[in-house]
Structure 1
Amino acid sequence: SGEPPLLLAASVHCAARQAIKEARKDLRAYNTSEVPPAIFRMDIPATMDVIKELCGLDNVE
């Protein structure tokens, strides 16, 4: 059945969102000048570049 891959994909998406929330909370704790807003939208597919940007990290190629 297709249930296990579907649930795995959903759990990865939820884990990534939670990790981004925690990274943003850490940025607020350090009082950086460019603190990203608490609410964000993560489009799918969420590439590593998108996740790093949402975490407030510089995107270095």
Structure 2
Amino acid sequence: MTIQCRTSCGEQIDYERFDFPDGYIYFLPRNIDGTIHNCSNISDKGYLDKHFQKIDEKVDEMSG
């Protein structure tokens, strides 16, 4: 099933499911052409910094 990337980069991708013997399930993001999706949002440090800041703000909110 093709869906929009979960990090909101705008790309349409497929998630390939891998079931491990210990019960862990991993979904590998793949581009429509079958290559592994190298999301521009994950590669962009600014994107991660923005989301980590939101997490920090939420933790501060909850603790205080």
Give the TM-score taking structure 1 as reference length.
Answer: 0.34
Q: Select the structure of larger CA radius of gyration.
A: 2
Relative to the length of structure 2, the TM-score reads 0.33
